[in-house]
């Protein structure tokens, strides 16, 4: 998402730097890339293709459909069968693939939070494209538990991508339920929505551990459940290295308890 231009719209300021980030990530052992053809639009997928094609056998590229960009960079719903079908073909073309590894249906709910409503028509469209051999696996993004259950009644769901972090824990129960089903949970906005007092407390604790606040937040997510799969975005080599180092940060139980206190500090 960070590899396109400002506001995830248009080309990046430095295309070669974006290519370098992708190649460095794969060289460091990253084998999962989260993207969408509405990043840019088309820009991010074209950069991924330029940087990494032909793709390594173990590289999983996960994309999502369900939105489009207006000429003013607005995020607009694109949920009709024709929209979704076109989006899948756009992803195939711009990524240079014959089949997409995973396609998430991004449900356009209330901003970064899901709202109830049927997803039957949308997910059935993607299920048909999967049956045609254009998609290997399906996932869901920005959804409720009821929508997940509805999707599972149509086709297997391999991952769910919702907003979740140290502060926003509405999906606590859902994460555990998905873990029991061996379904990946992919949290977005790992630092989004922190109150100033919470950010200050997180920064102070991270300093004591000789880590950055982002590293601490990512390490907490990794420790939260075995099915959590992280997608921290970046457009710089330095930030990439910082993100990857979070995997080496082990959190003592006392630190986890302190992080829990930070999570409730703004509402206590």
Answer yes or no: is 14 within a domain: no
**Could you tell me if residue 212 is inside a domain?**
yes
Alpha carbon 179 to chain centroid, angstroms: 17
CA angle 85, 89, 90 (to 5 degrees): 115
Q: Is 55 a catalytic residue?
A: no
Give the neighbor-by-neighbor strand order of the sheet with 184-188.
32-34, 60-65, 100-106, 135-141, 157-163, 184-188
Q: For residue range 36-88, what is the model confidence (pLDDT) as tens digits? A: 999 999 999 999 999 999 999 999 999 999 999 999 999 999 999 999 999 99
Q: Is residue 207 part of a domain?
A: yes
- Model confidence at 111, pLDDT cuts 50, 70, 90, reads low
The answer to whether residue 106 sits within a structural domain is no
Contacts of 156 (CB under 8 A, 6+ apart): 137, 138
Using omega within 30 degrees of 0 as the cis cutoff, is the peptide bond preceding 54 cis?
yes
121 has pLDDT over 80: yes
Return mean pLDDT, the chain: 95
Structure tokens given for 239: 């930030």
Query: What is the distance between the alpha carbons of residues 4 and 15, in angstroms, rounded to a whole number?
Result: 9
- Residue 248 resides in a domain: yes
Instruction: Give residue-wise pLDDT tens across range 151-194.
Output: 999 999 999 999 999 999 999 999 999 999 999 999 999 888 88
What span, in angstroms and rounded, lies between the C-alpha atoms of 54 and 39? 21
Q: Is the pLDDT of residue 136 over 60?
A: yes
Q: What is the CA radius of gyration of the chain?
A: 18
Q: How many domains does the chain have?
A: 1
Please tell me the predicted confidence (pLDDT) of residue 92: 98
User: Domain of 268?
Assistant: 193-268
Q: For 191-242, how does the pLDDT look when each residue is reduced to its tens digit (9 = 90+)?
A: 888 888 899 999 999 999 999 999 999 999 999 999 999 999 999 999 999 9
Is the per-residue pLDDT at 110 higher than 80? no
**265 has pLDDT over 80:** no
The answer to whether residue 163 sits within a structural domain is no
Q: Is residue 258 part of a domain?
A: yes
- The bridge status of strand 67-69 relative to strand 75-77 is antiparallel
Residue at 113 is within a domain: no
Query: DSSP of 67-128, one letter per residue?
Result: EEE-TTS-EEE--SHHHHHHHHHHHHHHHT-SSEEEEEEE---BTTB------HHHHHHHHH
Per-residue pLDDT band for 268 (boundaries 50, 70, 90) equals very low
- pTM metric for this prediction: 0.95
Please report the pLDDT score of residue 192 as a whole number: 82
Catalytic residue among 39, 55, 164, 185: 39
């Amino acid at each position: 998402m960070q590899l396109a231009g400002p506001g995830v719209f248009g080309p990046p300021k430095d295309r070669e730097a974006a290519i370098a980030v992708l190649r460095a990530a794969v060289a460091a052992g990253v084998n999962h890339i989260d993207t969408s053809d509405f990043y840019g639009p088309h820009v991010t997928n074209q950069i991924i293709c330029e940087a990494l094609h032909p793709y390594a056998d173990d590289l999983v590229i996960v994309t999502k459909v369900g939105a489009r960009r207006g000429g003013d960079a607005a995020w607009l719903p694109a949920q009709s069968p024709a929209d979704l079908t076109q989006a899948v073909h756009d992803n195939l073309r711009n990524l240079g693939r014959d089949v997409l590894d995973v396609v998430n249906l991004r449900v356009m709910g209330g901003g970064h939070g899901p709202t109830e409503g049927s997803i039957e028509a949308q997910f059935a469209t993607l299920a048909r494209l999967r049956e045609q051999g254009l998609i290997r696996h399906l996932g869901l993004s920005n959804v409720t538990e009821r929508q997940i259950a509805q999707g599972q009644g149509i086709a297997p769901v391999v991952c769910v991508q919702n907003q979740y972090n140290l502060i926003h824990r509405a999906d606590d129960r859902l994460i555990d339920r998905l873990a029991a089903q061996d379904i990946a949970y992919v949290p977005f906005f790992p630092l989004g929505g922190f109150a100033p007092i919470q950010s200050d407390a997180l920064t102070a604790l991270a300093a004591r551990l000789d880590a950055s606040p982002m590293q601490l937040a990512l390490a907490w997510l990794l420790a939260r459940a075995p099915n959590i799969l992280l997608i921290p975005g970046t457009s710089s080599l330095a930030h990439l290295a910082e993100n990857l180092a979070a995997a080496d940060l082990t959190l003592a139980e006392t630190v986890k308890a302190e992080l829990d206190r930070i999570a409730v500090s703004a509402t206590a």
